[in-house]
Amino acid sequence: MSQPSEAFFAGVIEGFYGPPWRHSQRTELFGLMEKWGLGAYFYGPKDDLRHRTIWRETYPESEAARLVEVIAECSRRGRTFYYMLGPGLDLRFASGCDRDRLKARFGQLLSLGCRNFALLFDDIPDRMDPLDLKRFGSFASAQCDVANELFHWVRGQHATSRFLFCPTPYCGRMAECRLGGTGYLETVGRELLPEIGVCWTGPEIISREISVPHVRELRQLLRRAPVIWDNLHANDYDGRRIFLGPYSGRPAELRREVAGLLTNPNTEYPVNYPALRTFAEFVNHDGEWNPRAAYTQALAEWLPRFATVGQPIAAADLSLFGDACYLPYEDGPAAVDLFMALRRLLATESARWTPELIGAFREPATRLRDFCSRTAELQDRALFAALSRRTWELREELDLLLTYVRTKEADPHAPAISDFHLPGTYRGGYVARLQQLLRQRPDGVFEPSLVQQDTF
């Protein structure tokens, strides 16, 4: 059993958009966090209505009773529970009434057993009421003023309470665009009480890498080391993806440069094992960091959850699937090999295909397709439910490709038509059609695609 260090924040944020996790999932999470040495859990699901949309309202009795259980379970496991509140959508900074509402919210949570808090100003309109602007002069000053008051108030109730703050520009790109106003971060550095930690997601909202120089530069502005809110494994921004790859793109030295490392992972709790396991390993690991080794180890531990009602699933097949759902900016090596084999095949005239060329694609594609089909046999139905839309889509695409290759192999001149993949049903739907109209180039620029869509 690992004991977390008090000063350093290391843990998990339930801070994504989409359905919040279930009570039983949080209970399991706290057990894993205890085993893996992650000390802090942050409750802040964007779609808990009282976290953001109707932040002024306290929890009704039934929901409060649930929270009591979650908080108690968290502390039974020796983990620290943080409640995050995001009032920024419509908070009136100068309003005494709104400040009282904030205190009432934190007051209720204190009465439920919560001792630690965070005030979030992420993903909110970048403008302020004219009265607030007149009184505080800037967004940053207004937010710091509220956070400082709340911090004093909470400390007045509990001398050891800890407090975090999430700025409106919470990554390098947002700061460069001057989101929140000129000098926002400098103002926070100056005016936010030094005891309050500041969250930061890295150069981007979803950062491929977070480097030591990047963090050092930010430390100067904030006058404190940031707490990294890492969205590497968050998938709420794209409903078709899940991320099973290892925590990576962060050097081992980063741990010494920041005040904490927190991960905000996939919305679907059951698929988070590799994300959380490798993250915990990174946080508590000494010396060089080898993400691939951590991934292999995590998958080996995860494999028993893939017990089926039929034949067992092989470790290599789970690994291939994991490689196909790796990280936002990166596919795993086996998935890259499969993709390249397919590209080579399709770039060659089918009349000139060799058995080697076909086999390099067909073997792993068949294995991956079969893995996807087999997830329907999982005993863990919650895991099946979390995977099912993605495994179905991947299986369907692989089926189509295998059918195409089989048709062309038999007769290179035969038209490749599949009865199972008809226009309008397969790859169909309104979003797919909208996506076809505007394409994104590899350099990020969007431009119209010259597609003919006169018919359905």
- Nearest Cα residue to 331 out of 369, 306, 295, 384: 295
Residue in 354, 356, 346 with CA at minimum distance from that of residue 404: 346
Closest C-alpha to 247, from 223, 270, 267, 274: 274
Amino acid in position 282: F
Site membership for ligand GDL, residue 229 (CB under 6 A): yes
| Tokens 């499969």 -> residue | 338
Which amino acid appears at position 224 of this protein?
Answer: R
327 scored as a contact of ligand GDL (CB under 6 A) = no
- Window of 144-152, 184-192, 232-240, 321-329 that interacts with ligand GDL by CB under 6 A: 232-240
Least distance (Å) between residue 377 CB and ligand GDL: 32
Of residues 264 and 319, the one with the C-beta less far from ligand GDL: 264
CB of 76 to ligand GDL, least distance (A): 27
Q: Does 266 bind ligand GDL (CB under 6 A)?
A: no
Whether residue 166 contacts residue 205, with contact meaning beta carbons closer than 8 Å, is answered with no
> Which contacts of 331-340 are long-range, i.e. CB under 8 A and separated by 24 or more positions?
332/245, 332/295, 334/364, 337/364, 338/364, 338/365, 338/368
Please give the Cα distance from 259 to 194 (Å, whole number).
12
In angstroms, what is the minimal distance from the CB of 112 to ligand GDL? Answer: 23
Q: Which is nearer to ligand GDL, 17 or 329 (CB)?
A: 17
Judged by beta carbon, residue 21 or residue 361, the one nearer ligand GDL is 21
Phi/psi for 442 (5° steps) reads: -60, -25
Between residue 43 and residue 82, which ones bind ligand GDL under the rule CB under 6 A? 46
Q: Which of 6, 24, 195, 237 binds ligand GDL (CB under 6 A)?
A: 237
Question: Which residue, 234 or 405, is less far from ligand GDL as judged by CB?
Answer: 234
Q: At what angle do helices 61-76 and 23-36 cross, to 10 degrees?
A: 20
Which residues inside 422-441 make contact with ligand GDL, applying CB under 6 A? none
Smallest gap from residue 30 Cβ to ligand GDL (A): 21
Backbone angles phi, psi at 422, to 5 degrees: -90, 145
String marking each residue 13-32 x if it binds ligand GDL according to CB under 6 A: --xxx---------------
Which tokens is 191 given?
A: 């005016």
Query: Which part of the chain contacts ligand GDL (CB under 6 A), choosing from 64-72, 98-106, 230-238, 371-379?
Result: 230-238
Question: Could you please report the per-residue DSSP string of 240-252?
Answer: T----S-S-SS-T
Catalytic residue positions, numbered: 123
Closest CB 34 distance from ligand GDL, rounded Å: 25
Nearer to ligand GDL, 163 or 229 (CB): 229
CA 136 to chain centre: 34
- In angstroms, give the least distance from the CB of 200 to ligand GDL: 9
Residues 132-171, interacting with ligand GDL (CB under 6 A): 166, 170
Per-residue x/- track, 165-204, ligand GDL (CB under 6 A): -x---x------------------------------x---
Tokens of 248: 């990576």
Exposed/middle/buried for residue 246 (C-beta within 10 Å: 0-12, 13-18, 19+):
buried
| DSSP assignment letter at 308 | B
Interaction between residue 264 and ligand GDL (CB under 6 A): yes
Q: Is the dihedral of CA 236, 238, 240, 242 positive or negative?
A: negative
Which among 67-75, 226-234, 246-254, 337-345 is the span making contact with ligand GDL, rule CB under 6 A? 226-234
The nearer residue to ligand GDL, 48 or 145, going by C-beta atoms, is: 48
Binding stretches for ligand GDL (CB under 6 A) = 15-17, 46, 122-123, 166, 170, 201, 205, 229, 231, 234, 236-237, 264
